[in-house]
């Protein structure tokens, strides 16, 4: 270890390096600081997000006065204060924007991710592979964290291994048979809240019940012109917690092996308030402050679990406050975990529904965590992970690939270690992203439209943004701007055709070629025709009615309010989680499709126990061997 020579060369490598950071959130703030202190002089940083109050407990480059401003710009300015002589270029933008193409990526010596969602991580992984730039990837949840290194041809890429699968819920669990509090939250947020305050034209499964009852669909939720607000709130309450449950109970089949829910009516929960005041809210909420049902009702502690009566009061009050104070927003509201009144409404509605179904109630604080998919985050873990990223980045700059390590930050020591290095794995030879192995799609080619394959498989599962689909040499679909009008019309026509009836028919054995030019990713999909109908696929496992094999990483998807598919726009640090766990809270302008709702979950794979490969040399390396899939993988030599 010629330490001084090595030190000199590492210093030179750092000075000369041009690095790209994606994300200026929890990990990003720590990383930018540590890079600057470590002697990096040319740092580019991309983040889409603006600063929020709940960021300030760990994103230490930001202050109260910065709330609402661009994370990337503020982080840059803050670091230049203690390192004025370096270059930091900040972009307040989505890393998926076209300007950040392969050419853009090629100018960097290494890319460092401090992202919070799977979608952006996959995108950056593909651009790094295409541009042949090494990637150092990271994530944290609470006290857990990990740093991994991905170098094309030398180590596995980010998508070589299955990622923890986010939970999705069948529609009927949410609409009819909730058994966990999270089901009630999803119902309250994605169905009831959306129905009451969101886009009325959006399809919504909450309608189903009222349709069956023979009532005209939308009237139930519509406030009649001369209807007293208090009356209206009570009518909605009785409808969703009382009447809808009664209707559901009529279907005896459903309750054969389940606990029957209790219909809840306002006259039972708040009998003494049957002729309640006409809106208590008017005096208590002064105009300056954000309207809050908790404030008007004098409920102060968000950690407290309210009883059914309190939840009912909060529900009525929050509903009324929306109509009194925020009427202009009704019809356009999207649930936002930072919207106090929305959180109050959803908490109360979820708790009332939970009461009905015999599910334990939760505090507003807890409900907010579930509804907003808030992931635990602390400054210390982010600081440690940022340090580890820089250590790996320096090795990458020196091209010292035998020394690359994946490092796991653990909560409890394993084999005495709190920080556990593991040798990186070789690329997975059947990875559809970094190898050329074809995928297999089992699908009913006579009933499935091209649109479904593009939306549910190519965009959603394979994570492509602007796909192009070829069958042999026939181009059947292309996305993006710059299409001729007749081309676009032709593709639009193809979208609505079933696979077997496309200009080049897709039948058993057909091979599709799918490409995304922005990601410079191309892959083949072999089609296997299946006579199954949609219903015959297991709804839990394959809600799309198609089975894709040879791929591993699912991605969260959202449906825009106009019905078009669009992946979650969250790029860098899109939410104030810093995380491996992708955040799925709805972004403005988007709505989530119910069967793709994910469950927030601490899915840091660092928690799997790892074992040291024992030998007499103390410089031994650790290898994860609990997971049989991992154990099979070869270690790098």
Partner 1 sequence: MGGGGGGAEEELTAQETALYDRQIRVWGVDAQKRLSKAHVLVCGMNGTTTEFCKNIVLAGVGSLSLMDDHLVTEDDLNANFLIPHDESIYGGRSRAEVCCESLKDFNPMVRVAVEKGDPSLIDGEFLDKFDIIVVSCTSIKTKLLINGNCRKRSKHIAFYTVECKDSCGEIFVDLQKHSYVQKVGGEPKPKDLTYPSLQEAISVPWKNLPRKTTKLYFAMRVLENYESSEGHGACEASLSDLPAVLALRKDMCDKMSLSESQVPTALLEQLLAAGKKQHPPVCAILGGILGQEVIKSISGKGDPIKNFFYYNAADGKGITEDIPPPSD
- With CB under 8 A as the contact rule, the residue among 238, 400, 411, 627 that binds partner 1 is 411
Is residue 387 near partner 1 by the rule CB under 8 A?
yes
Stretch of 76-84, 158-166, 426-434, 588-596 lying at the interface with partner 1 (CB under 8 A): 76-84
Contact mark string toward partner 1, 338..367, x via CB under 8 A:
---------------------------x--
In angstroms, how far is the first alpha carbon of the chain from the final one? Answer: 20
Of 172, 305, 378, 630, the one binding partner 1 by CB under 8 A: 378
Exposure b/e, 389-426, CB count within 10 A at least 16 = b: bbbbbbbbbeeebeebbbbbbbeeebeeeeebbbbbbb
For residue 184, give the nearest of 58, 378, 349 by alpha carbon.
349
Ligand-binding annotation for 27, yes or no, is yes
Cα–Cα distance measured from residue 150 to residue 401, given in angstroms and rounded to the nearest whole number = 10
> Minimum CB separation from partner 1 for residue 27, in Å?
11
Least separation in angstroms between residue 520's CB and partner 1 is 32
By the rule CB under 8 A, 38 interacts with partner 1: yes
- Residue 371 in tokens: 């509804």
Q: How far is CA 523 from CA 380, 443, 478, 545, 556, in A?
A: 41, 18, 15, 21, 20
Q: How far apart are CB 364 and partner 1 at their closest, in Å? A: 10
From 125-133, 255-263, 273-281, 409-417, span contacting partner 1 (CB under 8 A): 409-417
Residue 365: CB minimum distance to partner 1, A: 8
Binding-site size for partner 1 (CB under 8 A) equals: 64
Per-position x/- string for 295-334, each x denoting binding to partner 1 as judged by CB under 8 A, each - no binding: -----xxxx-------------------------------
Q: Interface residues for partner 1 in 99-158 (CB under 8 A)? A: 142-143
Q: DSSP class of residue 282?
A: H
Q: Minimum distance from CB of 530 to partner 1 (Å)?
A: 43
Q: How far apart are CA 478 and CA 119, in angstroms?
A: 21
Handedness of CA 559, 439, 138, 597 (dihedral sign): positive
d(CA 400, CA 390): 14
Instruction: Give the count of beta carbons closer than 10 Å to the beta carbon of residue 253.
Output: 6
Supply 118's token pair: 């799977």
Here the tokens at position 533 are 């109908």
Residue 500 has which token pair?
């077997």
Q: Per this entry, what is the length of the chain?
A: 637
* CA-based R_g, the chain, Å: 26
Check binding of 4 to partner 1 (CB under 8 A): yes
Q: Which of 387, 394, 385, 392 is nearest to 17 (CA)?
A: 394
For partner 1, which is the closer residue by CB, 139 or 467? Answer: 139
Residue 565 has φ and ψ, to the nearest 5°, of: -85, 140
Ranges of H-type helices in 238-288: 244-250, 252-255, 266-269, 281-284
| DSSP 8-state code for residue 594 | G
Backbone angles phi, psi at 309, to 5 degrees: -65, -45
For 385, the 3-state DSSP assignment is helix
Stretch that binds partner 1, among 30-38, 149-157, 305-313, 512-520 (CB under 8 A): 30-38
Question: In whole angstroms, what is the distance from residue 125 CA to residue 283 CA?
Answer: 54
Q: Contact with partner 1 (CB under 8 A): which of 50, 54, 207, 398?
A: 54
How many Å apart are CA 335 and CA 344, to the nearest integer?
A: 11
Query: Binding partner 1 by CB under 8 A: which of 93, 171, 330, 419?
Result: 419
509 is in an annotated binding site: no
Of the pair 63, 635, the CB lying nearest partner 1 is at 63
Residues 6 or more apart from 3 whose CB is under 8 A from it? Answer: none
Q: Is 262 known to sit in a ligand binding site?
A: no
Would you call 128 helix, strand, or coil by DSSP? helix
225 annotated ligand binder: no
Does residue number 34 form part of the binding site for partner 1 (CB under 8 A)? yes
Which residues inside 596-625 make contact with partner 1, applying CB under 8 A? 618-619
C-beta closer to partner 1: residue 32 or 118: 32
Q: What is the rounded CA–CA span in Å between residue 342 and residue 363?
A: 15
Q: Give whichever of 297 and 502 is closer to partner 1, judged by the CB atom.
A: 297
CB of 556 closer than 8 Å to CB of 166:
yes
Q: Is 47 assigned to a binding site?
A: yes
In contact, 429 and 435? CB cutoff 8 Å: yes
Extract the runs of DSSP E, i.e. beta strands, from 517-575: 521-529, 547-549, 557-560, 565-567
According to the binding rule CB under 8 A, does residue 405 interact with partner 1?
A: yes
Site for partner 1 contains 82 (CB under 8 A): yes
Beta bridge partners of 611: 623
Q: Smallest gap, in angstroms, from Cβ of residue 403 to partner 1?
A: 8
Kindly tell me which residue out of 179, 201, 211, 380 binds partner 1, with binding defined by CB under 8 A: 380
Judged by CB under 8 A, does residue 84 bind partner 1? yes
Q: Which stretch binds partner 1 (CB under 8 A): 50-58, 175-183, 252-260, 265-273?
A: 50-58
Q: Which of 162, 164, 170, 369 binds partner 1 (CB under 8 A)?
A: 369
Residue 60 sits in the site that holds partner 1 (CB under 8 A): yes
Q: Report whether 544 belongs to an annotated binding site.
A: no
The span of 26-34, 259-267, 282-290, 532-540 binding partner 1 (CB under 8 A) equals 26-34
**C-alpha separations of 198 from 217, 473, 599 in Å:** 16, 44, 22
Residue with smaller CB distance to partner 1, 143 or 323: 143
In the set 172, 184, 523, 604, the catalytic residue is: 172
Q: Using alpha carbons only, what angle is made at residue 470 by residues 433 and 133, rounded to the nearest 5 degrees?
A: 25
Q: Which of residues 241-280 bind partner 1 (CB under 8 A)?
A: none
Question: Site for partner 1 (CB under 8 A): which residue of 210, 296, 355, 407?
Answer: 407
36 or 466: whose CB is closer to partner 1? 36
Q: Is 172 labeled as catalytic in the residue annotation?
A: yes
Residue entry with tokens 């356009």: 332
Binds partner 1 (CB under 8 A): choice among 391, 495, 590, 623? 391
Q: Is 264 labeled as ligand-binding?
A: no
Specify the residue, 428 or 570, whose C-beta has the smaller distance to partner 1: 570
Question: Is residue 381 a contact point for partner 1 (CB under 8 A)?
Answer: yes
**318 burial via Cβ count (<10 Å: 0-12, 13-18, 19+):** buried
Kindly list the catalytic residues.
172
Residues of each annotated binding site: 23-28, 47, 55-58, 71, 116-121, 157, 160, 431, 434
Q: Which residues bind partner 1 (CB under 8 A)?
A: 1, 3-4, 30, 33-34, 36-38, 53-54, 56-58, 60, 63-64, 79, 81-85, 142-143, 300-303, 365, 369, 374-384, 386-391, 405, 407, 409, 411-413, 416-421, 576-577, 618-619
Tell me the binding residues for Zn(2+): 157, 160, 431, 434
The annotation places the binding site for ATP at 23-28, 47, 55-58, 71, 116-121
């Amino acid at each position: 270890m010629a330490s001084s020579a090595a030190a000199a060369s590492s210093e030179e490598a750092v000075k000369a390096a041009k690095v790209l950071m994606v994300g200026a959130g929890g990990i990003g703030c720590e990383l930018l600081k540590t890079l600057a202190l470590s002697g990096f002089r040319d740092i580019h940083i991309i983040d889409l997000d603006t600063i929020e109050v709940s960021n300030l407990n760990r994103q230490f480059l930001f202050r109260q006065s910065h709330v609402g401003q661009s994370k990337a710009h503020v982080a840059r300015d803050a670091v230049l204060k203690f390192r004025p002589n370096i270059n930091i270029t900040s972009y307040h933008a989505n890393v998926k924007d076209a300007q950040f193409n392969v050419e853009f990526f090629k100018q960097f010596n290494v890319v460092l991710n401090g992202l919070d969602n799977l979608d952006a991580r996959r995108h950056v992984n593909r651009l790094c592979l295409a541009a042949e730039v090494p990637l150092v990837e990271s994530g944290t949840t609470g006290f857990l964290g990990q740093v991994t290194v991905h170098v094309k041809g030398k180590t596995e890429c980010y998508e070589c291994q299955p990622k923890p699968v986010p939970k999705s819920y069948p529609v009927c669990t949410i609409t009819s048979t909730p058994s966990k509090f999270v089901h009630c939250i999803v119902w309250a947020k994605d169905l009831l809240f959306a129905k009451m305050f969101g886009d009325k034209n959006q399809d919504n499964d909450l309608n189903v019940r009222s349709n069956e009852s023979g009532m005209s669909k939308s009237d139930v939720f519509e406030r009649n012109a001369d209807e007293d607000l208090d009356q209206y709130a009570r009518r909605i309450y009785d409808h969703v917690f009382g009447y809808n449950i009664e209707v559901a109970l009529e279907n005896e089949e459903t309750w054969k092996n389940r606990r029957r829910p209790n219909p809840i009516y306002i006259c039972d929960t708040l009998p003494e308030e049957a002729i309640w005041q006409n809106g208590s809210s008017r005096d208590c909420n002064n105009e300056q402050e954000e309207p809050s049902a908790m404030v008007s009702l004098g409920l102060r502690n968000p950690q407290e679990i309210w009883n059914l009566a309190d939840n009912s009061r909060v529900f009525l009050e929050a509903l009324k406050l929306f109509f009194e104070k925020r009427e202009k927003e009704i019809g356009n509201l999207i649930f936002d975990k930072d919207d106090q009144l929305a959180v109050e409404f959803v908490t109360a509605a979820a708790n009332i529904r939970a009461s009905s179904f015999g599910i334990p109630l939760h505090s507003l604080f807890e409900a907010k965590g579930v509804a907003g998919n808030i992931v635990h985050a602390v400054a210390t873990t982010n600081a440690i992970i940022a340090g580890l990223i820089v250590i790996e980045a320096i090795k990458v700059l020196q091209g010292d690939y035998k020394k690359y390590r994946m490092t796991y930050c653990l909560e409890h020591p394993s084999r005495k270690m709190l920080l556990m290095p593991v040798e990186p794995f070789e690329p997975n030879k059947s990875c559809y992203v970094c190898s050329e192995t074809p995928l297999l799609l089992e699908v009913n080619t006579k009933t499935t439209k091209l649109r479904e394959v593009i939306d549910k498989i190519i965009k959603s599962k394979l994570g492509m943004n602007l796909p192009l689909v070829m069958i042999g040499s026939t181009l059947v679909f292309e996305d993006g701007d710059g299409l001729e009008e007749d081309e676009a019309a032709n593709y639009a026509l193809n979208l609505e055709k079933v696979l077997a009836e496309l200009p080049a028919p897709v039948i058993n054995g057909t091979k599709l070629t799918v490409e995304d030019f922005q990601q410079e990713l191309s892959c083949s999909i072999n089609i296997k025709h299946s006579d199954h109908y949609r219903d015959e696929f297991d709804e839990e496992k394959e809600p799309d009615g198609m089975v894709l094999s040879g791929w591993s990483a699912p991605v969260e998807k959202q449906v825009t309010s106009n019905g078009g598919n669009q992946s979650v726009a969250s790029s860098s640090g899109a939410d104030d989680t810093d995380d491996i766990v992708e955040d799925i809270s709805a972004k403005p302008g988007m709505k989530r499709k119910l069967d793709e709702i994910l469950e927030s979950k601490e899915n840091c794979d660092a928690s799997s126990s790892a074992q040291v490969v024992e030998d007499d040399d103390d410089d031994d390396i650790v290898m994860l061997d609990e997971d049989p899939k991992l154990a099979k993988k070869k270690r790098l030599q």
